[in-house]
Amino acid sequence: MFADLLRRLTAPAPSPLAPPDARLALTALLVRVARADNNYTAAERERIDRVMIAREGFGEAEAAALRAEAEVLEAEAPDTVRFTRAIKDAVPLIDRVRVLEALWDVALADGNRDHQEDMALRLVANLLGVSDVDSGLARQRVEARRR
């Protein structure tokens, strides 16, 4: 199941993903950021589910099932660049800022701002074509909602 998606993600010139594959790639990127600090917590898993519920209108079971698939895909995928490239190709710039906000939401779900997660988000923002300023503003919006 994932072999075809991984093949498309790693192609020299990948074509834009269909919405179900784009959702899976985004969810796998959320998982990758959450795992960046080598401490993938229940709070982060729940936050990923909540992000997908809010973005896609999924029910809890559907969001959890998508996350479970994304966990497998993330573990099999070679690097962050391919996820990011697929998302960049599938999502307009204005929506990529919202993707980055979702990534910050997951990274901060455990209440800790970790250096490894910061580095992962800095890389992802750059690869998505989102400026450091816009990434910082996205993080601040997430932090403000948590207060």
Residue 13 lies in a domain: no
User: What is the secondary structure of 29-42 as a DSSP string?
Assistant: HHHHHHHTTS---H
Residue 86 lies in a domain: yes
Tally Cβ neighbours within 10 Å of residue 57: 9
Asked if 111 and 46 touch (Cβ cutoff 8 Å), the reply is no
Give domain status of residue 121, yes or no: yes
- Residue 85 domain-assigned (yes or no): yes
24: in domain: yes
- What pLDDT sits at residue 10? 63
For residue 32, the domain's CATH number is: 1.10.3680.10
CA distances from 102 to 6, 21, 34, 121 (A): 23, 18, 11, 11
pLDDT digits (tens, 9 = 90+) for 15-58: 677 888 888 988 999 999 999 889 999 999 999 999 999 989 99
pLDDT one-digit tens code per residue, 65-119: 999 999 999 998 877 887 787 778 777 888 889 889 999 999 998 888 888 888 9
* Structural domain that includes position 80: 2-8+18-146
What is the DSSP code (8-state) at residue 59? -
